[in-house]
């Protein structure tokens, strides 16, 4: 564990040098990219080797190869540099028109697929240099209710692993967070066009069909099964897949049926030849909310993106 004396020896430029040498696998090419002399790069590598107590890069006739220790350090060092750039960027005045920042939004793909198109259109007009990373998140367990199921994303927001989460959230978030409702979402039963169930969407027929369930963990039991159990009924979950986009392709080519978000299906059904019918049983309805922390909103860039999401993701904006 580094103490204050060790930290005082660390030059952030050495971490940048490490990253570039790792990418180039050649001291001369790394030097050219960094606008340094090869000897300056070699000197920096020497300091890094002493600091980290490892050779880090071994010379070969064609350049250098990283040691096992260097490969282990690659991801943590890249993360340090990314976070450092983020900290520095937040200290600068934010101008959407000229900004080249990258923001991270976490969401289930059934949600991000709905808000991304209008968001990207707005960015193209007002912030052409801003980039977005979307982080796929799904509940860590089978969804039976939206109550508290998304709480695990809150620590990631506080740690700035993501700037904003867009998730179903029907309960109030803790006081240190801010949530804004974007749109209401519910589920329909989706299937390929011409599927027999579309002509006879009864509960009896529903229980007789083979089902696809979206589950990150592969757990096929969810809120639908709770309701069926209360009625003394069951269904067969013939397949689980880890995300909603995967589900679209599978049900378009099989006789499987699936409960999918209504807004999501409305946007993509025509591309996959799918139809949706009203469910013959109660399914989850929830508010889709953008959530971030009050601390993050002190960053003018995050506050701007939060406002933009609220404007563009409303039903009137998504159609």
Q: Do 122 and 150 lie in a common domain? A: yes
Given 43, 58, 91, the domain boundary residue is 91
**Has residue 257 got a pLDDT over 80?**
yes
* 197: containing domain: 187-277
Q: Do 158 and 301 lie in a common domain? A: yes
Strand order in the sheet with 131-136: 131-136, 102-107, 164-168, 286-293, 177-185
In degrees rounded to 5, what are phi and psi of residue 102? -115, 130
In degrees rounded to 5, what are phi and psi of residue 202? -90, 165
Q: What's the confidence (pLDDT) of residue 37?
A: 92
Instruction: Show Cβ contacts of residue 153 under 8 Å, excluding neighbours closer than 6 positions.
Output: 106, 137, 162, 165, 167, 291
**Has residue 64 got a pLDDT over 60?**
yes
Classify strands 102-107 and 131-136 as parallel, antiparallel or unpaired. Answer: parallel
Query: What average pLDDT is seen over the chain?
Result: 88
Q: Do 169 and 125 lie in a common domain? A: yes
Q: Do 146 and 83 lie in a common domain? A: no
**Has residue 199 got a pLDDT over 50?**
yes
Q: Do 197 and 268 lie in a common domain? A: yes
Given 91, 125, 156, the domain boundary residue is 91
Residue 294 sits in a domain whose CATH number is 3.40.190.10
Q: pLDDT tier at 226 (50, 70, 90 boundaries)?
A: confident
**Has residue 67 got a pLDDT over 70?**
yes
Q: What's the confidence (pLDDT) of residue 319?
A: 40
Classify residue 97: in a domain, yes or no. no
Q: Do 179 and 199 lie in a common domain? A: no
Residue 86 sits in a domain whose CATH number is 1.10.10.10
**Has residue 318 got a pLDDT over 50?**
no
**Has residue 317 got a pLDDT over 50?**
no
Classify residue 96: in a domain, yes or no. no
Count the residues in the chain: 319
Into how many domains does the chain fold?
3
Given 91, 121, 156, the domain boundary residue is 91
């Amino acid at each position: 564990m580094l103490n204050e004396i060790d930290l005082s020896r660390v030059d952030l430029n050495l971490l940048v040098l490490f990253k570039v040498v790792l990418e180039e696998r050649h001291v001369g090419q790394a030097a050219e990219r960094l606008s340094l002399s090869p000897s300056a790069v070699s000197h920096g590598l020497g300091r890094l080797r002493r600091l980290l107590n490892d050779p880090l890069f071994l010379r070969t006739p064609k350049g250098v190869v990283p040691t096992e220790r260097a490969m282990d350090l690659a991801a943590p060092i890249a993360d340090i540099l990314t976070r450092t750039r983020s900290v520095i960027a937040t200290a600068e005045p934010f101008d959407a028109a000229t900004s080249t920042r990258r923001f991270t939004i976490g969401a289930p793909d059934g949600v991000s697929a709905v808000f991304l198109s209008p968001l990207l259109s707005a960015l193209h007009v007002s912030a052409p240099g801003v980039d977005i990373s979307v982080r796929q998140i799904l509940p860590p367990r089978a969804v039976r209710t939206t109550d508290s199921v998304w709480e695990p994303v809150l620590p990631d927001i506080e740690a700035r692993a993501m700037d904003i989460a867009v998730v179903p959230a029907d309960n109030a978030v803790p006081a240190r967070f801010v949530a804004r409702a974007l749109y209401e979402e519910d589920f329909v039963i989706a299937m390929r066009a011409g599927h027999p169930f579309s002509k006879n969407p009864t509960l009896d027929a529903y229980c007789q069909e083979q089902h696809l369930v979206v589950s990150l963990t592969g757990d096929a039991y969810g809120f639908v099964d709770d309701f069926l159990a209360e009625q003394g009924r069951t269904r067969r979950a013939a397949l689980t897949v880890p995300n909603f986009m995967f589900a679209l392709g599978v049900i378009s080519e099989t006789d499987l049926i699936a409960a999918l978000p209504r807004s999501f299906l409305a946007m993509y059904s025509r591309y996959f030849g799918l139809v949706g019918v009203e469910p013959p049983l109660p399914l989850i309805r929830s508010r889709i909310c953008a959530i971030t922390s009050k601390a993050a909103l002190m960053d003018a860039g995050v506050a701007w993106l939060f406002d933009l999401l609220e404007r563009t993701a409303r039903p009137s904006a998504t159609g």
